[in-house]
Amino acid sequence: MTMRVLLVEDDAELRRTLRDALALEGYEMLTAASLSEGLALAANAALDLVVLDLGLPDGDGESLLAALRRRESLPVLVISARQAEGQKIRLLDAGADDYLVKPFGVGELLARMRVALRHRGTRVSAALTVYRRGAVQIDLATQRVRRDGEPVHLTPTEFKLLARLVRNAGQVVTHRQLLADVWGAEFVEHTQYLRLYMGQLRAKLEADPAEPRLLLTDPGVGYRLAEPDEDPAAPLMPS
């Protein structure tokens, strides 16, 4: 099944480069050079994923994100030259699936696209219940965690936090989202809880907690659980 991707980017050279690279990977590409073109295409074409630039000649890509979020559940990856942490957080909390700061490698974009499409797949088919990466295995159904085959004891809060990251494995989850989902909406400012619990989880799960490979920090934005190992038994794409 061919995935159709809408790329909204006003930089003609970057648009061409990304369009060609993604088409080579087998994606069917629609491109837009402005916000209004992007809105028109998004309204009239069936899409599987949107790659969205923010700084567009006729407005901010953020308004397209808002329009898409109201309409349907469609993965949106934001690409922007803007570094500001506050803006990344706002976009992720507004429903963007991920955020890449320019310049980025095409390989990185492709990897993030695969993650976003897989997550969309999990919403329509069975959810990911077992996460494996290297020596670590996390089973959400039985709430068992193993490292090198040995059981790892987690407190209920540690497990809840880890499970929240497993559900978005490979994607950044903002501090605010984690605090709201694990502790409750009234705790969204208590980022010190996260630092404490992430430290505990790293101590239990990472080979070297000072150089995490599993529980990654997205500075000022949130945390990302590394992508799971490919499971040869699992279908790569939702059918």
Q: How near is the Cβ of 220 to Ca ion at its closest, in Å?
A: 23
Q: How far is CA 28 from CA 5, 64, 76, in A?
A: 6, 20, 16
62 binds Ca ion (CB under 5 A): no
Cα separation, 64 vs 101, in Å, equals 18
Q: Which is nearer to Ca ion, 8 or 194 (by Cβ)?
A: 8
- Residue number with the smallest Cβ distance to Ca ion: 55
218 binds Ca ion (CB under 5 A): no
Q: How near is the Cβ of 33 to Ca ion at its closest, in Å?
A: 9
Cα separation, 111 vs 132, in Å, equals 18
Q: Which is nearer to Ca ion, 79 or 89 (by Cβ)?
A: 79
Candidates 10, 62, 98, 218: give the one binding Ca ion (CB under 5 A): 10
Q: Can you read off the two tokens belonging to residue 184?
A: 């409750």
55 binds Ca ion (CB under 5 A): yes
Cα separation, 75 vs 83, in Å, equals 21
Cα separation, 79 vs 91, in Å, equals 11
Q: How far is CA 192 from CA 140, 169, 179, 189, 197, in A?
A: 25, 22, 10, 9, 9
Q: Which is nearer to Ca ion, 7 or 166 (by Cβ)?
A: 7
Q: Give the x-and-dash track for 35-54 against Ca ion (CB under 5 A).
A: ------------------x-
Taking contact as CB under 5 A, which single stretch among the options 5-13, 20-28, 40-48, 176-184 is the one that binds Ca ion?
5-13
Q: Which residues bind Ca ion (CB under 5 A)?
A: 10, 53, 55
